[in-house]
Amino acid sequence: MSIINPMDFFYSIIKEKETTPRWIIFVLDVIICVMSLTYAILLRFNFDFNSIKAHNFYLQLGAVTVINILCFLVFGTYKGIIRMSSLKEGARCISAVFASFFVVLTVNFICSYYSWAHLIPTSVLIIYFFTASFIIFGYRVAAKDLYHRSIKARYNLENVMVFGGASNGFLIKRAIEHIKECNYSVVAFIETNSRFYNRSIDNVKIYSFHKIKKVSKDWDVKTVFLASDNIELEFKNKLVEYFLSRNIKVKVLPSVENWVEGKLQPLQIEDIKIEDLLNRPPIELAKKHITEYLETKRILITGAAGSIGSEIARQVVRMNPSMVILFDNSETPLYEIEYELKKKYGEKGSMKVVIGDVTEIDAMRRLFRKYRPEVVFHAAAYKHVPMMENNPSEAVKNNVLGTKVVADLSLQFRVERFVLISTDKAINPTNVMGASKRIAEMYIKGLQHNFKELYMNTTGKYVSVLSNDSEEGLHTKFITTRFGNVLGSNGSVIPRFKEQIQRGGPVTVTDPNIIRYFMTIPEASSLVLEACTMGNGGEIFLFDMGEPVRIADLAHKMIKLSGFVPGKDIKIEYTGLRPGEKLFEELLNKEEEVIPTYNKKIMISKTSEADFQFIGSNVEILIKLAQQNKNYEVVKQMKFMVPEYKSNNSVYEELDRVKQVS
């Protein structure tokens, strides 16, 4: 004969009847109150039944029962689902008992006033109240706990550890173990603070960090939760590497203060992201002076539907500008960012959404004339290296002509500040995209130092007027920001790796030795805003991006973070460098010097002044060639303008050889 597991028996009951009928809960609560009053009377009279009968026991019992029935009906204590009881449910039950206690107490007061005998002795009432409250609240808590235990007992528990968070350990443990979608059992807390060592939280011991290896092995830990917000980056990387090497999943818990209505929601628990392991501390940029400058401005953001442009829009909208103009040629992403911002911030300031092309001069002029922007963030650009290598004319039209049009109009309409978002690929470029961005940098730097005004000649084309008279200086300040790859941006390596991992691989890396600098989208956007207020015009701002990251290491780490074994579960394939690609990127060329700023993470590149007459005339030639779609001549002209531009792994390498021979 087999022995029935009590947990399985309890589970079979609750499965057979999903919720206990309300009348049963109601009757049970009334019975508990009757028994509590009986116990209180017995205790008060030392179980002397003769004294109890002499004090109208049955009258007292009947009166309190009727009052309890009325209170339970008024407070609706029977309506809740017992196994899902919350603190609010418990408080409602105690309130109902207190109401009956208060009613009888009031009756006693009235009886005293008229010198009548008390309905029930006050001492009995006090014992009754605490006994009934404890039992009614307690059996709900017990039923809820038993239900969760019975559910979890039917599955294999997954042992988990919590790193940090011992100060809120009880809340964290209960929250983790009560996640319905999972079957976690917290078996250990790991702390680096010695004052917590060898203590316990809800029967779970707190261990020192030095015992993490033994604990994870002894308990066969499958998942670790990081519950501390202040783990140093280098230490966090080593910690995650250790767990991943032992096939232990790493998840991140939000701080208790950020729980929704005091409860940990499953959606708040996230797998640790590659952004959390970026090989440098996050950059903290000043906020106050940025807000003070932008909060009353009319701001134009080109490329507002892109990764950087949309994040700039998110950060700018929070600063209450008088107007934000979102400009892009991509309809659906532009609609999405508009919808997101209006949903989150409502009609904060005035938001205008404009679809268009930065290369269309007449349309852009109408935009400037209508909205009169005071600050321009120029994020519109083509950025994909291999694609631009195959389409040099399009790269020049968008990245050079587009920049020229927006910059010229900014000068003509007396925009206060124009910020160009450039790239580290503009330094010693090896591809068309990088060279086009370098020419855009050169053009706006030339505008800052050489232009005084723009006018239109009889042919309707813009003509640049050089002036050596600097007594007034320029109204517009032209500023460039230059940084590396952005984690999670559209089309970047991180989303591509994620997609490849989700479909089972392989993960494709161009070369085992390729390295890149990385930063997060919010950091990149914050840098742009910082540069906007910091710049006096003509600067190229650089970001301290820390140590570069090997893309192969990034792929390995992302595969491990997804719970797979590199090379076994998901393969890594090396495909070779793509057209225009190089093994490493730079933030400075040999001729540039670095000047520090008040923010030690932001520097200024000091470059020699270029001959703007040379730049302006050759930009016109370059644009004309691009408009005629003469790709070969376009690249040749770019190499003439940017002598350090040497093609790599590209069909245009022959132009460098011809130059060397000549």
Confidence (pLDDT) at 152: 54
Instruction: Over range 487-498, report the average pLDDT.
Output: 72
- Asked, for residue 399, whether it belongs to a domain, the answer is yes
Q: Domain check: are 174 and 78 in the same one?
A: no
> Of the given ranges (25-29, 320-324, 574-578, 628-632), which has the lowest mean pLDDT?
25-29
- Asked, for residue 284, whether it belongs to a domain, the answer is no
Q: Which of 151, 180, 203 is the last residue of a domain?
A: 151
Reported in sequence order, the residue ranges of 457-506 that DSSP labels E, i.e. its strands, are 462-466, 477-483, 485-487
DSSP character at residue 268: G
Q: Domain check: are 224 and 113 in the same one?
A: no
- Asked, for residue 443, whether it belongs to a domain, the answer is yes
Kindly indicate the confidence band of residue 454, based on its pLDDT and cuts at 50, 70 and 90.
very low
User: Residue 319: pLDDT above 90?
Assistant: no
C-alpha distance from residue 458 to each of 382, 464, 618 (Å):
32, 14, 21
User: Residue 66: pLDDT above 50?
Assistant: yes
Q: How many CA atoms does the CB half-sphere of 312 hold within 13 Å? A: 33
Q: Among residues of the chain, what percentage have pLDDT more than 90?
A: 21
- Asked, for residue 416, whether it belongs to a domain, the answer is yes
Confidence (pLDDT) at 284: 54
Confidence (pLDDT) at 275: 66
Q: Domain check: are 45 and 182 in the same one?
A: no
Q: Domain check: are 342 and 407 in the same one?
A: yes
Q: Domain check: are 174 and 45 in the same one?
A: no
Q: How many CA atoms does the CB half-sphere of 213 hold within 13 Å? A: 4
Answer left, alpha or beta for residue 350, where phi above 0 means left and psi between -120 and 50 means alpha: beta
Locate tokens 């294999």: which residue? 156
In terms of pLDDT, which residue wins out, 100 or 453? 100
Q: Domain check: are 110 and 44 in the same one?
A: yes
Quote the number of domains for the chain.
3
Q: What is the CATH number of the domain that holds 455?
A: 3.40.50.720
- One-letter amino acid at 275 equals E
Confidence (pLDDT) at 661: 44
Confidence (pLDDT) at 307: 87
User: What is the rounded distance in angstroms from the CA atom of residue 252 to the CA atom of residue 2?
Assistant: 43
pLDDT digits (tens, 9 = 90+) for 36-64: 777 777 776 666 666 655 556 666 777 77
Q: What strands, in cross-sheet order, belong to the sheet with 323-328?
A: 351-355, 323-328, 298-302, 375-378, 417-423, 477-483, 540-543, 602-606, 593-596
pLDDT digits (tens, 9 = 90+) for 180-228: 666 777 888 888 777 777 787 777 888 887 888 888 888 888 888 887 7
Q: Where are the alpha helices (DSSP H) in 535-611?
A: 551-561
Confidence (pLDDT) at 227: 78
Q: Domain check: are 263 and 310 in the same one?
A: no
In terms of pLDDT, which residue wins out, 614 or 562? 614
Q: Which of 102, 135, 151 is the last residue of a domain?
A: 151
Nearest Cα to 551, choosing from 507, 588, 587? 507
Q: Domain check: are 121 and 67 in the same one?
A: yes
Of all helices (H) and strands (E), which one includes residue 380?
A: none
Q: Domain check: are 142 and 169 in the same one?
A: no
Confidence (pLDDT) at 406: 96
Record the pTM.
Answer: 0.66
- Asked, for residue 507, whether it belongs to a domain, the answer is no
Q: Domain check: are 112 and 206 in the same one?
A: no
- Asked, for residue 506, whether it belongs to a domain, the answer is no
Nearest Cα to 304, choosing from 240, 255, 353, 340? 353
Q: Domain check: are 306 and 245 in the same one?
A: no
Q: How many CA atoms does the CB half-sphere of 62 hold within 13 Å? A: 4
Kindly indicate the confidence band of residue 12, based on its pLDDT and cuts at 50, 70 and 90.
very low
Confidence (pLDDT) at 469: 36
pLDDT averaged over every residue in the chain: 77
- Asked, for residue 556, whether it belongs to a domain, the answer is no
Q: Domain check: are 37 and 69 in the same one?
A: yes
Q: Which two tokens stand for residue 481?
A: 């920001």
Range of the domain at 208: 156-272
User: What is the rounded distance in angstroms from the CA atom of residue 85 to the CA atom of residue 143?
Assistant: 9
Burial class (CB in 10 A: 0-12, 13-18, 19+), 333: middle
- Asked, for residue 604, whether it belongs to a domain, the answer is yes
Q: Which of 151, 171, 199 is the last residue of a domain?
A: 151
In terms of pLDDT, which residue wins out, 531 or 8? 531
